[in-house]
Amino acid sequence: MTVTGVPADGRIGTPLLRKEDPPLLTGEARFVEDLVVPGALHAAVLRSPHANARIRSLDISGALASPGVVAAFTGADLREEWAQPLPCAWPVTADIKIPEHLPLAVEHVSYGGDAVAVVVGESREAAVDALDAVVVDYEPLPAVVDLQEALTDRVVVHESLGSNRCYTWSLIPDPAAVDSAFAEAAHVVKERYVQQRLIPNAMETRGVCVVPQPFGGDYTIYSATQIPHILKVMLGIVTGIPEQKLRVVAPWVGGGFGSKLNVYAEEALCLALARRLKRPVRWTEERIENAQATIQGRGMIQEIELAADRDGRVRAVRVNLLADMGAYLQLVTPGIPLLGAFLYHGVYDIPAYAFTCTGVFTTKTATDADRGAGRPEATYAIEPAMDALAHQLGLDPAEVRRRNFIATEKFPYSSAAGLVFDSGDYGPALDQALELAAYEATRKEQQDRRNAGANKRIGIGLSCYVEMCGLAPSRVLASLNYSAGGWEAATVRLMATGKVQVVTGSTPHGQGHETCWSQIVADRLGVDPDDVDVVSGDTALSPAGMDTYGSRSLSVGGVAVWQATEKVIAKARAIAAHQMEASEEDLELVGGSFQVKGTPSRSMAIQAVAFEAFTAHNLPDGMEPGLEAQVTYDPPNFTFPFGTHVAVVEVDSETGDVDLVRYVAVDDCGNQVNPMIVEGQVHGGVVQGIAQALYEEAVYDQDGNLRTSTLTDYLVPSAAEVPSFTLGHTVTPSPTNPMGVKGVGEAGTIASTPAVMNAVLDALAPLGVTALDMPASPQRVWEAVERAKKAAEGEER
Amino acid sequence: MIPASFDYQRAASAEEAVSMLREHGEEAKLLAGGHSLLPLMKLRLATPSVVIDVGRIRELSYLRDGGDQVSIGALTRHRDVETSELLQREVPILAHVAGLVGDPQVRHRGTIGGSLAHGDPASDLPAVVLALGGTLVVQGPGGRRDIPATEFFQGFLETALAPEEMLVEIRVPKARGGWSYQKFNRRAIDWAIVGVAAVRNGTTGVALVNMGPVPLRASAVEQALAGGASAADAAALAAEGTDPSADLNASVEYRQHLARVLVRRALEEAGA
Ligand SMILES: Cc1cc2nc3c(=O)[nH]c(=O)nc-3n(C[C@H](O)[C@H](O)[C@H](O)COP(=O)(O)OP(=O)(O)OC[C@H]3O[C@@H](n4cnc5c(N)ncnc54)[C@H](O)[C@@H]3O)c2cc1C
């Protein structure tokens, strides 16, 4: 399983060590904050301490008089800077309500952390110190924290919208089928789950630095973003600066998990300030600001119902979501629940489907994409519900799942929700996971401990998942009202010296694109992966792209690289055939050289072909010089990775402490380009899902104050909290792309939360505990056990 | 996360630190490992105008065998306490618990003196020194004085140290009998939600972490044990005299429950 030290030639499928790591480990990598920009001013943002308030007055004169301060502005001062408010690119319905979201609030603040003023100083310290000198008189208004309370409209967050109801979106292809399945059901399961809000904590917080160029009114925007290409378009729209005058550069970016898939107030602010002050302006987010003013994830109440027949075969699933938008709609806030909307039947062949989601405004930080975005929620609904069904039927959870799997011969499978699943083979992944987890032996130990009345109870949890990645076929996005396409661009260029430059529109922020793209090109061309360089994240060098999110990079961006490489090979073949006076059909590319089939002594290295293409001294008639190709790939379908995860926990029923003792993940992401990177993605993803199950929660009090704004209170787990994982995989290639790849960036997060929670409930079931909110903190577990005990005592009496 | 501005001074000896404290009065703060003070300053919950760095006073970093006790210099880092063979042999609970503080980075910076002087009821080492019945040696303008650990912790983050005094040494009796430390937390790096230190050294000392505004002796438990009660019966009294607060991790009721369970486990493990 451990891949370190395995010799890797860099071909597809080998665990080549990451090219990214030496610069990261030696500190050579430069993040936005590291950039030395002479003459740059520092911005600091004053944020509302209230969740909901009117601004009676705002006095910045004290800040202006503070040492080292160059300028300070209120929302009213900057009102004219904005050609448009901050964008929401996914208005999911025609009648969606969208509140005006300006980079600085003008009269009203809608969440604790809403920006109200900005101070610009010669140093960061001067700007931060001067924030204390800004005087704001707020008229506090009641907060809206609870989702159900928000729906009542007793307090309306945005009065101009008249209601907190943002939208209602449904997917019910055949309502009658759903109704009759429930009418005829032998077993009905009805469950309610709460997706607590999560705070994405990238190692690098956000940061931006805008540099006005000396000529032509151009601006270079350095930002710790996942989406330089989208950001360029959006900042042009917000500030009214023509898009072509903006260049966005994402240098090394220290993670994002979706939180940097956005267009933020501070990015627009720094651009507007640089335009106004005619000097570079930079801003670096503090960790507490990251908790308050970067988007949060999840935040939903889910109701799920299953209708099953006597044998436990599920005939219909009905889902109702209440989704917390927060105070404003960020880039894709309303669309997040829709990314899971099609997957609430999970890996099961369920013929009738009903999904409805209502988005509501609250006086909290906006929600948006957080690793998995919509699919972890879907998986956390269907998988615990399947356990509830197994419980009702008195069946083993593995057996209920097996009975309901989409049969292998049904792929490509048309789901009741309207998707076509590309490929799948669910049984073998489950079998392998159970074997790696020593399922039977663990069940026996569990029973032994129960019989002995042991305090420490064992629980085993299964999670069979499927997700959709490869965002996305542009036409599908259109049907969902999304305002952009889902294609990706790549250029592969052979240089005169035989080295290769790859330009990708898919912008990495920790994944390992450089390594994988090098492997794809090296594998196809037969060159050394070290001879391949990958350029990304700079809109001047890579003008076309849709960036990185939704586990799309390999299955869209990587496929574009593959296709561009194939185009290069086709042209190279023509040149080689011309030079070698052979026919193209007689040439094969072997180990980096074109050879005449059957006569390996007659060959021409790809590097030599590149040089010929460069000099253009002897090319076929009519052929353009140069050896490069550009491809823009629009995927024909999503890809559907899947797998089974098994968690084994030990629950201390006396203290409520949950100890995760074993974790098995069997994932199928189709063909693997670099198995070490796949493992890394699974490891990190699994920990993030465990975090939702056991540790992390953005807690707000009744007044809308965020109580978990530091990393002392917001519990991000580390390697010390998790066991060493046992990984396995199966390989079911996707038929929709030539590489047969699927995607693995979010799989771990999608699968692991239900595995862990199912395990905790499995441990507690004999004590009478049937429901538990996340995270399963010791106090929560203890209280649930105490409640169940009291209920049992009450029954006995 | 930028502290308010302050002056920085470095003291070369305890005497110099004390005279600097005299000069600047309550406006000044000593800086040892900085792992409690600097976070407070970055959050601007502490805004000293002068920071006196004592972290480099080498002669206050030591572990010495003093016959029936061990003397530890106030500036000894957690890591040195954790790995001290003297302590591992003579006062194993202290070495063990120093190894449970935060993470390796914290243990390489934080000092035992800083941990005690800070007086955080959630910290591990104060409870251990209490359970051991240790003594704190402080130096002031008029020289040194000894303060029993039982009299040192006076209120939330308040100790018997006068503003012009510095903690210079901690003395703990050798304790080779049974012992246990129960640290209940959610992540390895976290402070205890509740902690229990139990040491058998003739009598049994039991101290509680995070069960009130100050680190506490579990007097009711100790008395019951002295009177011959079983571990289980004594542990049932663990919450007596405590005044824990409620926070995101635990309600008052849950903390009291944990105290009873953890004291029982500690007594069982210590063989009391
Ligand atoms: C991430 C993290 C995790 C942690 N986890 C734990 C944990 O699990 N358990 C735990 O117990 N602690 C924990 N700590 C706290 C850590 O142990 C601190 O190092 C310790 O509490 C303070 O020691 P210090 O030397 O860093 O003191 P400093 O921060 O330098 O000082 C703390 C206070 O004591 C005063 N002071 C320091 N030395 C003296 C002296 N000699 N005389 C008089 N006054 C003095 C200072 O003026 C200041 O008010 C953690 C800290 C961090 C940052």
> For residue range A260-309, what is the model confidence (pLDDT) as tens digits?
999 999 999 999 999 999 999 999 999 999 999 999 999 999 999 999 99
Collect all residues of chain B within an 8 Å Cβ-Cβ radius of residue A699. 248
Amino acid at the residue A271: L
Closest to B75 (Cα-Cα) out of B120, B17, B121: B17
Q: What integer pLDDT is reported at residue A27 of this predicted model?
A: 95
β B216-217/B50-53 pair status: unpaired
At residue A770, does pLDDT exceed 70? Answer: yes
Question: H-helix or E-strand containing A213?
Answer: none
- State whether residue B193 sits within 8 Å of chain A by CB: yes
CA of B49 to the centre of ligand 1 (A): 19
Q: Which of B248, B251, B257 sits opposite A707 (nearest CB)?
A: B248
Among the ranges given (A333-337, A427-431, A546-550), the one the predictor scored with the smallest mean pLDDT: A546-550
- What is the mean predicted confidence (pLDDT) over A496-514? 97
For residue B192, the distance in angstroms to the closest alpha carbon of chain A comes to 12
Residues of B in contact with A708 (CB under 8 A): 248
CATH code at position B159 = 3.30.465.10
Same domain, B185 and B261: yes
H-assigned helices in A482-580: 513-525, 559-580
- For residues B207 and B201, give the distance between their C-alpha atoms in angstroms, rounded to a whole number: 14
| Residue B242 forms part of a structural domain | yes
Out of 3.90.1170.50, 2.60.40.1260, 3.40.640.10, 3.30.70.120, the CATH code matching A32-141+205-253+260-293 is 3.90.1170.50
Ligand 1 centre to CA of A435 (Å) is 47
Instruction: Reply yes or no on whether the pLDDT at B175 is more than 60.
Output: yes
Architecture of domain A368-385+393-465+638-796: 2-Layer Sandwich (3.30)
Q: What backbone torsions phi and psi does residue A638 show, to the nearest 5 degrees? A: -70, 170
Give B3's DSSP letter. Answer: P
pLDDT in tens, A706-731: 999 999 999 999 999 999 999 999 99
Rounded Cα–Cα distance for residues B43 and B1 (Å): 6
> Are B208 and B105 within one domain?
no
Mean pLDDT confidence for A516-541? 97
Domain count, chain B: 3
Is the confidence at residue B122, as pLDDT, over 70?
yes
Closest CA to A243 of A229, A222, A223: A229
Mean model confidence pLDDT for chain A: 96
Cα(B41) to centroid(ligand 1), Å: 13
A128 and B2 within 8 Å at the Cβ level: the answer is yes
Query: Are B187 and B260 contained in the same domain?
Result: yes
Q: B166 and B67, same structural domain? A: yes
Side chain identity, residue A444: K
End position of a domain, from candidates B128, B146, B173: B173
Q: Which residue has the higher pLDDT, A322 or B25?
A: A322
> Does A715 touch chain B if contact means CB atoms closer than 8 Å?
yes
- Pair (B144, B67) in one structural domain: yes
Region B145-162: mean pLDDT is: 96
> pLDDT tens across A368-379, in order?
999 999 999 999
Minimum-distance CB partner of A718 among B2, B5, B187: B187
B188 near A CB under 8 A: yes
Half-sphere exposure of A632 (CA within 13 A, CB side): 11
Q: Does B1 fall in a domain?
A: no
Chain A residues near residue B101 by CB distance under 8 angstroms: none
Average pLDDT of span B133-137:
98
In tens, the pLDDT along A129-181 reads 999 999 999 999 999 999 999 999 999 999 999 999 999 999 999 999 999 99
Percent of chain A with pLDDT over 90: 96
Same domain, B138 and B153: yes
Give A172 Cα–ligand 1 centroid separation in angstroms.
59
- Determine, yes or no, domain membership for B2: no
Cα–Cα distance for residue pair A713/B34, rounded to 1 Å: 20
Q: Residues B119, B200: one domain?
A: no
Residues B154 and B137 in one domain: yes
Per-residue pLDDT of A651-704, as tens digits, reads: 999 999 999 999 999 999 999 999 999 999 999 999 999 999 999 999 999 999
B255 close to B244: Cβ distance less than 8 angstroms? yes
Ligand 1 mutation target, pool B8, B10, B27, B30, most atoms within 8 A of CB: B30
Tell me which residue in B2, B4, B103 faces A124 most closely, judged by beta carbons.
B2
Tokens for B2?
């930028």
Residue-wise pLDDT tens digits, A217-246? 999 999 999 999 999 999 999 999 999 999
**Rounded Cα distance, B214 and B218, in Å:** 12
Q: What is the mean pLDDT of residues A191-220?
A: 96
- Please tell me the predicted confidence (pLDDT) of residue A472: 86
B1 CB near a chain A CB, below 8 Å?
yes
Q: Which residues of B140-163 are buried (b: 16+ CB within 10 A; e: fewer)?
A: beeeeeebebeebbeeeeebbbee
Q: What is the pLDDT of residues B8-51, one digit of tens each?
A: 999 999 999 999 999 998 899 999 999 999 999 999 999 999 99
DSSP H or E segment with residue A238: helix A228-239
In this predicted structure, the answer to whether residue B102 has a pLDDT above a threshold of 70 is: yes
Residues with CB under 6 A from ligand 1: B 29-37, 39, 74, 101-102, 106, 109-111, 113-115, 117-118, 123-125, 161, 166-167, 189, 191
Query: Residue B36 belongs to what domain range?
Result: 7-53
How many contacts (CB atoms, under 8 Å) link A and B? 51
Record: contact A778-B188, CB cut-off 8 A: no
- Chain A residues with CB inside 8 Å of B186's CB? 695, 715, 777-778
Domain-ending residue, one of B158, B173, B188:
B173
Phi, psi of B15 (to 5 degrees): -60, -45
The tens digit of pLDDT for each residue in A84-115 reads: 999 999 999 999 999 999 999 999 999 999 99
* pLDDT band (50, 70, 90) for residue B62: very high
What mean pLDDT do residues B218-244 have? Answer: 97
Whether A4 shows a pLDDT value over 50: the answer reads no
Cross-chain CB nearest to B261 (options A286, A654, A708): A654
Distance from B254 to chain A by nearest Cα, in Å? 7
pLDDT band with cut points at 50, 70 and 90 for residue A324: very high
Note whether B188 contacts A720, CB cutoff 8 Å.
yes
A777 and chain B: CB distance < 8 Å anywhere? yes
The CATH number assigned to the domain holding B37 equals 3.30.43.10
pLDDT interval class at A600 (50, 70, 90): confident
Report the pLDDT value the prediction gives residue A280, as an integer from 0 to 100.
Answer: 98
Mutation probe of ligand 1 site: the residue of B118, B147, B186 with most atoms within 8 A of C-beta = B118
Position B183 in a domain: yes
Give the separation between CA A390 and CA A285, rounded to whole angstroms. 47
| pLDDT more than 70, % of chain A | 99
**Mean pLDDT, range A428-457, rounded to an integer:** 97
**Do B169 and B183 fall within a single domain?**
no
Single out the residue in B118, B140, B173 at which a domain terminates. Answer: B173
Check CB contact under 8 Å for A779 and B251. yes
Predicted confidence band at A330 (pLDDT cuts at 50, 70, 90)?
very high
Q: Tell me, yes or no, whether B37 and B137 share the same domain.
A: no
Do B151 and B230 lie in one domain? The reply is no
| B166, part of any domain | yes
Residue A628 contacts residue A491 (beta carbons within 8 Å): yes
Residue identifier of the C-alpha nearest atom 12 of ligand 1:
B123
Interface test with A, best of B47, B187, B191 (most A CBs within 10 A): B187
Instruction: Please indicate, yes or no, whether residues B139 and B244 belong to a single structural domain of this protein.
Output: no
- Give the pLDDT of residue A1: 39
How far CA A468 is from CA of A356, A383, A418, A642, B85, in Å, comes to 19, 16, 13, 9, 56
CATH of domain A8-29+487-633: 3.30.365.10
The boundaries of every CATH 3.30.365.10 domain in chain A are 8-29+487-633, 368-385+393-465+638-796
pLDDT at position A6: 47
User: Where do runs of H (alpha helix) occur along B99-145?
Assistant: 104-109, 112-118, 124-132
| Per-residue model confidence as pLDDT tens digits over A47-82 | 999 999 999 999 999 999 999 999 999 999 999 999
